[in-house]
Amino acid sequence: MKGIINKFKITDGKKFSLKDMHTNWSGDLRKEETDEILEGLIKETAVLQSELYAANRYSLLVIFQAMDAAGKDSAIAHTLSGLNPQGCDVVSFKQPSIEELNHDFLWRHYKALPQCGRIGVHNRSHYENVLVTKVHPELLLNEHLPRIDKVKKADKKFWNQRYESIRTFEQHLADSGIIMIKFFLYLSKDEQKKRFLSRIDDPEKNWKFSAADVYERQFWDDYMKAYEKAIQETATGQSPWYVIPADKKWFTRIAISSIILETMMKLKLEYPVLAKEEKEKLADAKQALLAE
């Protein structure tokens, strides 16, 4: 899977163009292989999760960004199945609350970072602040920004500063041992339409549909420009983006699980080795238990 993974990895934003990426690519893999492949990937990841927790030196932060109906929820459910839920934290970010709007835009995301040894998953993230607010800049007026009292004041300089804040934030996390994986599930507009219609036609899926989803669909091109710009500005060797084809959910899940596993393998995790004194205490404890 390594060759496939590198196909989606963006480490130099300056060279990135969304038109070079794919929404329905799956290589030589077949849907019939999905369950077997996923089972193997998850088993290997579960072992590394245990080592991650025991080592207590790194944490993993997995970010999911996508248009509506791209499959973020199901991808999270499938890629985390089989892992120890006690070592995972999943946060879904909705519209910011009044309290959150009274802090800087990174505040609520910083609070949700995973502790050492844990895996954190953010369903949407700090990138919403250069995606939704880029498409709907009027939302910036809710942030109480000192120099933005009119939409037109959110100029190129403002957005460059916000991208810089994100790059600095992510560099700080990397320096602190938080390994970040950023996924953009790249869905085609046609496939989104099919999934919306499926939600409308199936009573058991009606709850997933919102009229607001269709409204946001009007801004599809604007969102694509915003995603492209965000990736161009924030994809680095230390904090890469992965633009994953999302038209075929089964392939999306395999790609995500493969990337998570490979990232954890690169950490070369090991269980802590006890010092001589601690091993002697273990031996004494064993003898005491056997003597009962």
The predicted structure's pLDDT at residue 217: 95
What percent of the chain is predicted at pLDDT more than 90?
84
What total of structural domains would you count in the chain?
Answer: 1
Lowest pLDDT segment from 18-27, 113-122, 220-229, 277-286: 277-286
Domain that holds residue 129: 2-290
Band (pLDDT 50/70/90 cuts) for residue 211 is confident
Residue 2 confidence (pLDDT) above 80? no
Read off the pLDDT of each residue in 181-204 and give the average, rounded to a whole number.
Answer: 95
> Which amino acid, residue 119?
I
Strand runs labelled E in 221-275? 241-245
Read off the pLDDT of each residue in 202-220 and give the average, rounded to a whole number.
Answer: 90
The predicted structure's pLDDT at residue 101: 97
pTM of the model: 0.94
On the 0-12 / 13-18 / 19+ scale of CB atoms within 10 A, 284 is exposed
Residue 244 confidence (pLDDT) above 70? yes
Residue 90 confidence (pLDDT) above 90? yes
32/43 Cα distance (integer angstroms): 19
119/7 Cα distance (integer angstroms): 25
What separation in angstroms does the CA of 7 have from each of 2, 29, 63, 113, 149? Answer: 9, 14, 19, 28, 43
Residue 4 confidence (pLDDT) above 80? no
CATH of the domain at 58: 3.40.50.300
134/231 Cα distance (integer angstroms): 14
The predicted structure's pLDDT at residue 1: 65
Partner residues linked to 243 by β-bridges: 184
43/49 Cα distance (integer angstroms): 10
Read off the tokens for 269. Answer: 């995790």
Q: What is the DSSP letter of 273?
A: P
Tens digits of per-residue pLDDT, 110-164? 999 999 999 999 999 999 999 999 999 999 999 999 999 999 999 999 999 999 9
Strand runs labelled E in the chain? 9-10, 59-66, 88-92, 119-123, 178-186, 241-245
The predicted structure's pLDDT at residue 165: 98
DSSP run (H or E) holding 251: helix 249-265
Residue 279 confidence (pLDDT) above 90? no
Q: What average pLDDT does the chain have?
A: 94
The predicted structure's pLDDT at residue 201: 92
> Which amino acid, residue 153?
K
Read off the pLDDT of each residue in 253-279 and give the average, rounded to a whole number.
Answer: 92
Residue 222 confidence (pLDDT) above 90? yes
On the 0-12 / 13-18 / 19+ scale of CB atoms within 10 A, 188 is middle
Band (pLDDT 50/70/90 cuts) for residue 278 is confident
Read off the pLDDT of each residue in 21-42 and give the average, rounded to a whole number.
Answer: 93
Taking alpha carbons only, the member of 170, 156, 173 closest to residue 235 is 170
The predicted structure's pLDDT at residue 62: 98
The predicted structure's pLDDT at residue 3: 65
Tens digits of per-residue pLDDT, 42-69? 999 999 999 999 999 999 999 999 999 9
